[in-house]
Structure 1
Amino acid sequence: MTITFQPMDEEQFNAYYATKLHAYAREHVKAGNWDKGEALEKAEKQFKLLLPEGVETEDHHLFIIKNDDESIGTIWLYVKQTGQDKQAFIYDVELDENQRGKGYGTRTMAALEEYAKSQSISRIGLHVFAHNERALKLYQKMGYETKSYQMSKTIFF
């Protein structure tokens, strides 16, 4: 079993975009960052800002995660060159619901490291919502370190 990354085509990107837009809005509501009524609009603004040219947006790499020939998830990676250093940021990585708990998360992150090496990427960063404990444990297991905390406290509601 081999994990690989296949660039999304326009049709795959459109399906991804529609699904992720709503999921991203829900995550921000769940995290307490946005009100439900404004979440979708805010998500659309951020996506349009980040991906103005869709799948063709420069420095953004949108992939289908494959296990051999089977599609098992998606990954959105931003790569930037700063001087002599090339760094990446994972905007999104998600395995399909029916593919979770099979070890593919660990293998996907290991494959991403191999991809990074092949592209001379020296560092990979990411953001994880605090309520996503499963992902947080995976990233910690893979050697990702916390670089900052953003905290809040609800006083009234």
Structure 2
Amino acid sequence: MPVTLEPLSPKRFPKWLRRSAEEYASDLISLGRSPAEAHRLATHSLTESFPGGQPASGQYVFDVHDGPGRPVGYLWIGRAQGEDDSAWWVWDISINEEERGKGLGRETMLLAERFAKSHGARTLGLSVFGFNTVARRLYETLDYETTSIKMLKNLG
């Protein structure tokens, strides 16, 4: 199924930013962070990349559209922080739950790779939570290599 990336409109951007912060905080909470700490970390992370609520230079947010042009998810991609301009990062990718399993995530990642390369990227990295086994399998089939592992044991 053909997938396209459309820049997120300025009108939709504040809603996306709030949603992204909530989703990131939720993931951090599921890993054992307190709600207060999770929200603080999510807000701090997004404030650096979106000062004044808009993308910093080198950061791009797209709506993912399927073949008929319906929005089915989003992609945030950009230069890695503190590294050279050729190191890029998939900061966030999400396909709507009801659209998963149709190859849209794979197609989105391939478009992300092409976009990054066309903007001078030589590498494209990403992070994935350990509990997200479906995404981990997808990235492995796209030849992404594990470069570090964080581990956590809940002692509570």
> TM-score, length-normalised on structure 2?
0.88
Q: Please state how far the C-alpha of 1:134 moved relative to its aligned partner.
A: 0.8
Q: Is the 8 A contact 2:78 2:116 kept in 1?
A: no
Q: Aligned runs of 1:110-121 on 2, under 5 Å?
A: 110-121=110-121
Percent pairwise identity: 28
Q: Deviations over 1:101-140 (max 9, x none)?
A: 1111111112222223322321100000101111111101
In the alignment of these two chains, the number of paired residues is 153
Report if aligned partners of 1:6, 1:66 keep a CA contact under 8 Å in 2.
Answer: yes
Query: What's the counterpart of residue 20 of structure 2?
Result: 20
Matched ranges for 1:118-157 at <5 A: 118-154=118-154, 156-157=155-156
1:11 maps to which residue?
11
Instruction: Judge conservation of contact 2:128–2:136 (CA < 8 Å) in 1.
Output: yes
Q: Distance in 2 between matches of 1:111 and 1:56?
A: 20
For the Cα contact (< 8 Å) 1:78–1:90, is it kept in 2? yes
Write out per-residue CA displacement over residues 54-107 of structure 1, whole angstroms, 9 at most, x where no aligned residue: 33421111111122322111011122572xx61210110001122111111111
CA contact (8 A) 1:59 1:79 kept: yes
- Structure with bigger strand share is 1
- 1:30-109 mapped onto 2 (5 Å cutoff): 30-32=30-32, 34-68=33-67, 69-79=69-79, 82=84, 86-109=86-109
Contact 1:9–1:55 (CA under 8 A) maintained in structure 2: no
Unaligned runs of 5+ in 1: none
3-state SS in 2 of match to 1:136: helix
CA distance in 1, matches of 2:24, 2:36: 14
1:146 CA drift (Å)? 0.2
- Worse overlay, 107-116 or 13-22: 107-116
How far the C-alpha of 1:53 sits from its partner, in A, is 3.5
Q: CA RMSD in A?
A: 1.8
- Cα deviation digits, residues 16-50 of structure 1 (max 9, x gap): 11111111101011122x21233223321221122
Structure 2, unpaired ranges of 5+: none
Kindly report structure 1 stretches of 4+ aligned residues shifted beyond 3 Å: none
